[in-house]
Structure 1
């Protein structure tokens, strides 16, 4: 734990997060968010996606920046390799969400982080998505996230940070629990 002479600064505005939590507790309708992304096919397995707006706090919100993402498949799949695969973006999303949570929880618990790195791997048998074996799942059979965390804290406090991050991570919840998905063709 950081001592009183050196305030903790992990770059997370905990006061604002706690203020938002309190405000949303008193206005549950404002806590209903709708996140959006748009995707346009380019060629082959290459697609280009954008993220710029969302609905939250009772109204439409606009991001400061329009974010873009290219997805494709590697050359070993006879593709152009113009971007990460969609499943790699899932891994990026999971690792990023958990890592952001670690920083926020550490800030709230007055733990100074020096470094946090995550290595994430997803195991997949391509027999599923290639239609070779109908009994093989199309998605990951398992995901492993390994953290290396250097912080002013005891090992059990660091483990507690990671556990709390998992508990509050939206992406961890999405990946580990069923989510209803509706696909519509207009």
Structure 2
């Protein structure tokens, strides 16, 4: 006798598939504009917030305003009031890939027991500090390592990660050039 166990990774796949269908029929509603604002506090400390965004053809809001402190570590002669801005990039990548894994696993009826992502990025500060103009200011590489416990084979788990990577907005932002403009009012 085959017993089927319900899979619950906490992702409403039916709603995601419904949204996909609706946006296929109304592609203009798929255009989103994400926003964050940031205010300087003191030294290298800043506070950012996220609440409103544009999507589905109208202004939208999160249930609450999210606030984030950023700073540099004490070893950079700073007060260490929050993660370094580059660490937020790593958090974004890990979070986006992990959310994708949960969503794909739910859709493929794979029960997850645990997912842990560890993200590391190398950086040579000689670029930022103006010591060597040939050294870039950003990461020289990013490494993501997943530890996943699931009712699945290694191949199925690898396929979950590959599909998550393929559909991750943050992975795309980090691996493809993005136009960035900076203005002063």
How does the TM-score come out when normalised to structure 2?
Answer: 0.98
1:55-70 counterparts in 2 under 5 A? 55-70=54-69
Q: Give runs of aligned pairs for residues 73-112 of structure 1, distance below 5 A.
A: 73-112=72-111
How many equivalent residue pairs? Answer: 184
Question: Quick check: 1:140 aligned with 2:139?
Answer: yes
Tell me what 2:29 maps to: 30
Which structure 1 segments of 5+ residues have no match? none
SS of the residue corresponding to residue 97 of structure 1 reads helix
Q: CA deviation at 1:51?
A: 0.2
Matches within 5 A, 1:114-125: 114-125=113-124
Cα distance, 1:4 vs. partner?
A: 4.8
Corresponding residue number in structure 2 for 1:180: 179
Q: C-alpha distance in 2, partners of 1:67/1:116?
A: 24
CA deviations on 1:68-94 (whole Å, 9 max, x unpaired) are 000000000000000000000000000
Q: Separation in 2 of the partners of 1:118 and 1:45?
A: 28
Distance, in Å, in 2 between the alignment partners of 1:40 and 1:4 is 56
For the aligned residues, what is the CA RMSD? 0.8
Structure with the larger RCO, 1 or 2 (CA within 8 Å, 6+ apart): 1
> TM-score if structure 1 supplies the norm length?
0.98
Q: Following superposition, which runs of at least 4 residues in structure 1 exceed 2 angstroms of deviation? A: none
Deviation at 1:62, TM superposition (A): 1.3
Q: Distance in 2 between matches of 1:8 and 1:89?
A: 31
The whole-number CA distance in structure 1 between the counterparts of 2:177 and 2:37 is 23
